[in-house]
Amino acid sequence: MKQVPILVLDFGSQYTQLIARKLRESGVYTEVVPYRESLEDIKARKPQGIILSGGPASVYAEDAYKPDEGVWDLGLPILGICYGMQLITQHFGGEVVAADHHEYGKAKLKIENDSTIFKGIADDSIVWMSHGDKAERLPEGFDIIGTSENSPYAAIADDNRKVYAFQFHPEVHHSVEGTAMLKNFAKHICGCDSTWNMGSFAKEKITGIRAQVGDKKVLCGVSGGVDSSVVAAMLNEALPKEQLICVFVDQGLLRKDEATQVQAMFKMLDIPLITVDAKKEFMEALEGVSDPETKRKAIGEKFIEIFDKEAKKYTDVAFLAQGTLYTDVIESVSVKGPSKTIKSHHNVGGLPDWMTFELVEPLREIFKDEVRKLGLELGLPKDMIGRHPFPGPGLAIRTMGAVTEEGLHLIRESDAIMQEELKATGYYDKVWQAFTVLLNVQSVGVMGDNRTYDNTVCIRMVESVDGMTATFAHIPHDVLEGMSRRIINEIDGINRVVYDISSKPPATIEWE
């Protein structure tokens, strides 16, 4: 297990991943592990500091989340955030109670002394509060280092033991100087160096791939999206061409002309690509299936079957490479703490027992924005790296209910028009992801002098950084109007277009 300078113990906060992202952006490699991580595994990572995340529970509850007791005796600097602060207060002998009023939103932090963790931080800096419990009595040895109008213990510290705690969330965007506070903890209190970047990550992963694969062959599943393209480029850098077999499965669930674009892209990269036309097999597997989870699993199983079939055409294929991301893992399986499973991903959760492949997943612990930086580091063109995310199950999860050829036609054509208008108006690079969804809901319309009863398409556009959170994009009405007019006029079978104005959370980006 490699050294991890800062280890974050996850107690279930929706913001936990942001702690890691902020520190990584500062050049300090950080990993998130469940709050229940064993002491042996924590020691094996040789951290220089530990951060206790926020969480939805109360520390005084009977089933409250608690870390291994040995964490407190490691002698490492500790920073507790929100729930983490309350854990620190309770463990060291203070008192935590339910607050009379929940505090949620912006607050001004008044700095009460010159603690190292506030080095360079302005007085009255804006921070973000989100809590229902509070520290009522501080433990012995702790001093107040920050207050706010409604939180007399907004920040506390025991400098002798190097234990610090914030009632607010420094990791969120609304805490203006929160990143600087986290950086102060990592660099000035824990003594971490700012040496981690995508260049060093690429070198480390390429070395790791060579060690893992040896002289065996790797089958790389390619979708044409950013993630699988970056994985293919990394494998191409790490291995001789005869060891890499890139397989592109055209499952009939792609966007308009996407198969042709993928083939042209790999030709430009000088990476050999095998294209498998599997439209018939996937449509048969999806026939009559309307449940989103069942669709995802059916697609994942079919991908595995096809990859296995292709692998048997060669000797010494021992590995399957995938573009699994950290966000995929978090949303699919609660491996990083008590946070709830949101949805499964077709490439997460391992391989069936009957398969003998070992997985190669070099992107499994990084975020989407980091993947893009990695792609540029590997020399991939900007227009490829800037492509909007596209889910592995493709248009199947952008068609509500059962997948049909007619429905795929409607969603494919409407998506193509929306993308054309987005690029023509200069908004493609201003949004993180944009697509259309076929709702499979009919409504009455009037076209000419005739009554219609046709389908509704929803346009979904979001702004995000890593896909963990997202807000709907505020696109000018005239741009949306142009998309709607073209979709309705040019595609038979659609008579209504709506715009999705929900954010994540509470909604997800994809509809299924």
Give 32's DSSP letter. E
DSSP string, 400-442: -SS--HHHHHHHHHHHHHHHHHHHHTT-GGGSSEEEEEEEEEE
By CB neighbour count within 10 A (0-12 exposed, 13-18 middle, 19+ buried), where does 474 fall?
A: exposed
Q: What phi-psi label fits residue 317: left (phi over 0), alpha (psi between -120 and 50 degrees) or beta?
A: beta
Cα–Cα distance, 272 to 268 (Å, whole number): 10
E-only strand ranges, 195-251: 217-222, 244-250
**Among 82, 192, 220, 246, the one annotated catalytic:** 82
Residue 399: DSSP 8-state: B
Q: Which of 169, 345, 346, 388 is catalytic?
A: 169
Sequence-distant (6+) residues with CB within 8 A of 9 are: 33, 34, 35, 37, 50, 51, 52, 53, 67, 71, 84, 337
Q: State how far the Cα of 189 lies from the Cα of 77, in Å rounded to an integer.
A: 7
Q: Which of 215, 249, 205 is nearest to 318 (CA)?
A: 215
How many CB atoms lie under 10 A from the CB of residue 308? 18
Q: For residue 129, what is the enclosing H or E element?
A: strand 125-137
For tokens 């389908």, the residue is: 455
Q: How many residues does the chain have?
A: 512
Active site (annotated) includes residue 173:
no
345 a catalytic residue:
no
Phi, then psi, of 452 in degrees rounded to 5: -120, 155
Q: Catalytic: 477?
A: no
State residue 464 phi and psi, 5-degree precision. Answer: -160, 175
Question: Which residue out of 171, 177, 258, 370 is catalytically annotated?
Answer: 171
Q: Per DSSP, what are the bridge partners of residue 399?
A: 438
Rounded CA-CA distance 509/512 in Å is: 9
Give the active site residues: 82, 169, 171
